[in-house]
Structure 1
Amino acid sequence: MNNETGILLETGTNELEIVEFEVQNNKFGINVIKVKEIIQPLPITFIPHAHEHIEGIIQLRGEVLPVINMAKVLGVPPSGNQQTDKYIVTEFNKQKVVFHVQNVTRIHRISWNDIEKPSDMYQGGNSQIIGVIKINGEMILLLDFEKIIVDINPHSGIHVGQIKQLGDRKRSSKRLIVAEDSPLLRKLIHDTLHEAGYENIEFFENGKLALEYLESIAAEGNVEEKVQLLITDIEMPQMDGHHLTRRVKEHPELKQLPVIIFSSLITDDLRHKGDGVGANAQVSKPEIAQLVMHIDRLSL
């Protein structure tokens, strides 16, 4: 299995395909376009003093890749029957990582609109859950794999220090709209953009809310005076960033608004998806300094 099926989905339709996998009979999902392949477990080389979630490293076609034990990440016992165990080889945030799961079952094609945001009541402040999918009377939890990686290696995330390398910055009055579902990333983006001089920022937790707001501005007229740039993630419940970008670029009053896609899914294989919906720029997380340089260029 590879990610070709995900690539073949028409861009901007607000649909995705997820790989369903199991850990202790609980069902979880990962976006197909993060998945390079699914393989049988390989011999692991133990790494002394590694993070507790890291099993070790494997060699796959000449590449050395870390293996993350999802049972440890999720705080459940190890597999009782390792015959069904699988390795999910992924690529996002400009890195390849292997996730050790206890079974891989099927692929589902769904709409982002069918993914419910987790309730604050049960997800907690440190949850890895970004969405809940109801299929055939069962629930599949969509996991935040970026957060799993950052929890293991904090240096792989967004840092204000990256902005300081750009030197002294002037304050800007430009108004930015940001669509990002992760509370943690909303705060990190807020802090780093403030450090870069952009203080007039409005955040929305998914593409649907951002589009509704932009359409309300468009109905009032003078869009260019009220907002100068849109930044959007791709993976968001209700409406993804590709569909949001497509809707903005097809709107007669919004189409001139610059759009930057800021996502862990910006790779050479997937960049054409953002191009296809009219994005003005695409930046891979966590390259916040590159994001700022594009904001500088596009919000003049």
Structure 2
Amino acid sequence: MSIEPKTSILTESGTNELEIIEFRLEKVLPDGSKKLCYYGINVAKVREVIRVPDTTDYPNAQPNVLGVFSLRGKLIPLVDLASWLNVPTTSNIDKKVVIVTDFNKMSNGFLVDSVSRIHRISWEEVESPSQFLESSDQDCVVAVVRQKANLIMILDFEKIIADINPELSMEKYDVTKDRSVVIDDAMMARREAKTILVVDDSAFIRRLIENTLRSAGYNVITAKDGQDGLDNMMEFVRLCTEEQLPISEFVDGVVSDVEMPKMDGLHLVKRLRDIGEYKDIPIVMFSSLMSEDNRRKALELGANDTITKPEIGRMVGLMDSLVLVDEKK
């Protein structure tokens, strides 16, 4: 059972479309009955879907890691997704399948009960979970898709992997201890005069980017998806027109994810470049899906540069090179 990810869907000139794989967990209720729970993942993150492989125990592994397996010469951890989500399921592993993912420069296997189908949808059809629940850093759902009578929960796989592999998490990065980044009074003052808009649907990732930029001195405002980001930027245009001020009085740069509800990051770049005030504003794409092809398309649409998660250590230096470039040194 193999799936060929169509990564071009993400980058067809900012069409604001994506494909998601719907998969299911069979929740066992207290009375013994079962209930299907529906989840989704972007096809671009999926390498393939396989039968459950033989695994080898790994010493001192995180409790939700069932072991490691070999696939095409790579050792891949197998994560019991239901266990991580605290969803009690049947123990009959022979009837389950594994979704093998490939993003953030690493591969992981996720044990699920079944894979249903692929949906091609517009990001406009993808809703923010904040419409249902108050989101927080601990929230593992980044978006919701309505399909007939079911709600498909799009999971924050970056957060799941960071929880399972804390040593690989972006949370380990501390810009104040990074010798490649200048942290002194003069540079802090220069950054304090600049404001960066951070757009990401994951509260977990938004907080990490915000903390990194703020620790270096930047002012930061945030948006939870591309539409929210565009609304903020349009409000700045209104204010600068009304008060006859340059747009730099409100915002100096943008850091945006690619995958987001309502409007994806590539479509956001396209829309911003069509607005006179933002024709030249620095825009950096920060995504786990930044393949060479995706990077090329992002640059074609108007992004200044790209960073592949989890390389958050590049963030401050790159923003310095873009937003401080016109200052007198």
TM-score, normalising length: structure 1: 0.92
Higher mean C-alpha displacement, 126-135 vs 21-30: 126-135
Q: Percent identity?
A: 38
**Gap change, CA 1:55 and 1:81, over 3 Å in 2:** closer
* Residue 163 of structure 1: how far off its partner (Å): 4.6
SS of aligned partner of 1:270 = helix
* Residue 251 of structure 1: how far off its partner (Å): 2.1
SS of aligned partner of 2:158 = helix
Measured in 2, the distance between the counterparts of 1:268 and 1:129 equals 28
Q: Write out the 4+ residue segments of structure 1 that deviate beyond 3 Å after TM superposition.
A: 1-4, 78-84, 119-125
Letter in 1 for 2:177: K
Do structure 1's residue 145 and structure 2's residue 157 form an aligned pair?
yes
Other-structure match for 1:183:
203
Asked if the contact 1:163–1:289 (Cα under 8 Å) also holds between the matched residues in 2, the reply is no
Other-structure match for 2:30:
none
Match runs of 1:250-269 below 5 Å? 250-269=274-293
For each residue in 1:77-118, what CA deviation from the matched residue of structure 2 results, as whole angstroms up to 9, or x when unmatched? 343554542111111111111111111110001122212222
Other-structure match for 1:209:
228
**Gap change, CA 1:256 and 1:167, over 3 Å in 2:** closer
Letter in 1 for 2:56: T
Other-structure match for 2:174:
161
**Gap change, CA 1:284 and 1:42, over 3 Å in 2:** same
- List gaps (5 residues or longer) in structure 2: 27-35, 325-329
Measured in 1, the distance between the counterparts of 2:181 and 2:118 equals 47
Measured in 2, the distance between the counterparts of 1:123 and 1:217 equals 26
* Residue 246 of structure 1: how far off its partner (Å): 1.2
Measured in 2, the distance between the counterparts of 1:136 and 1:56 equals 36
* Residue 168 of structure 1: how far off its partner (Å): 3.9
Do structure 1's residue 195 and structure 2's residue 215 form an aligned pair?
yes
Asked if the contact 2:139–2:203 (Cα under 8 Å) also holds between the matched residues in 1, the reply is no
* Residue 20 of structure 1: how far off its partner (Å): 0.4
Other-structure match for 1:7:
8
Match runs of 1:1-300 below 5 Å? 1-8=2-9, 10-24=12-26, 25-79=36-90, 81-119=92-130, 122=133, 125=136, 126-159=138-171, 160-165=173-178, 166-169=180-183, 170-171=187-188, 172=191, 173-198=193-218, 200-219=219-238, 220-221=240-241, 222-300=246-324
Asked if the contact 1:162–1:288 (Cα under 8 Å) also holds between the matched residues in 2, the reply is no
* Residue 155 of structure 1: how far off its partner (Å): 2.6
SS of aligned partner of 1:23 = strand
Higher mean C-alpha displacement, 37-46 vs 3-12: 3-12
Measured in 2, the distance between the counterparts of 1:36 and 1:162 equals 33
- List gaps (5 residues or longer) in structure 1: none
Measured in 1, the distance between the counterparts of 2:234 and 2:131 equals 28
**Gap change, CA 1:65 and 1:116, over 3 Å in 2:** same
**Gap change, CA 1:3 and 1:295, over 3 Å in 2:** farther
* Residue 193 of structure 1: how far off its partner (Å): 1.1
SS of aligned partner of 2:208 = helix
Measured in 2, the distance between the counterparts of 1:263 and 1:188 equals 13
Measured in 1, the distance between the counterparts of 2:305 and 2:158 equals 21
Measured in 1, the distance between the counterparts of 2:19 and 2:8 equals 10
Measured in 2, the distance between the counterparts of 1:4 and 1:182 equals 22
Higher mean C-alpha displacement, 153-162 vs 238-247: 153-162
Measured in 1, the distance between the counterparts of 2:291 and 2:176 equals 22
Measured in 1, the distance between the counterparts of 2:134 and 2:278 equals 35
SS of aligned partner of 2:170 = coil
Measured in 1, the distance between the counterparts of 2:75 and 2:266 equals 32
SS of aligned partner of 2:227 = helix
Provide the aligned length of Structure 1 versus Structure 2. Answer: 299
Higher mean C-alpha displacement, 247-256 vs 66-75: 247-256
* Residue 63 of structure 1: how far off its partner (Å): 0.7
* Residue 269 of structure 1: how far off its partner (Å): 4.8
